[in-house]
Amino acid sequence: MSRPNWKFHWQDVVNVALGLWVFVSAAFLRHAMADPALWHSMTGTPPPEGVGSAAMWSPAVVGVAVTFVALFAVLAFRAWLEWLTMALGLWLFVSPWVFDFHASAALRWNAILTGVAVAALAAWALTAERAKAMR
């Protein structure tokens, strides 16, 4: 009986965790911004004006998507899953400017840093797989 040919990449496991983080942090930041007293106690400033619901839903939806796509990549590596994860990471990166919530430092930096990390880890997994194939 032969074992299945698993192509495990630790980067995908980290991306599952980052996807969960983006989802959970979106909920936390939404509540923090919805309650001015909580927001004021955390930052000493009122919540930013003009942050719409799309700005709050985008990280939650993308977080779920990153989690599931990266989980599928953990279970069965496919290059297109890594490309999709990279695209989701890049979307997180640009979303503060698309949804105009860059005025909030917490939202902006959460999206930028996790977006860069998700995209970089997906690219790293693709590069590692390509290096294995060339050996």
Secondary structure (H, E, C), 7-67: CCCHHHHHHHHHHHHHHHHHHHHHHHHHCHHHHHHHHCCCCCCCCCHHHHHHHHHHHHHHH
5 vs 44: CA distance, rounded Å: 53
| Four-residue CA torsion sign, 9, 132, 76, 119 | positive
> What percent of the chain is modeled with pLDDT above 70?
72
Q: How many CA within 13 A on the CB side of residue 84?
A: 17
Residue 127, number of CB atoms within 10 A of its CB = 12
**pLDDT per residue as tens digits for the range 75-110:** 988 999 999 999 999 999 999 888 877 567 778 889
**pLDDT per residue as tens digits for the range 105-124:** 778 889 999 999 999 999 99
Q: Where are the domains of the chain?
A: 10-134
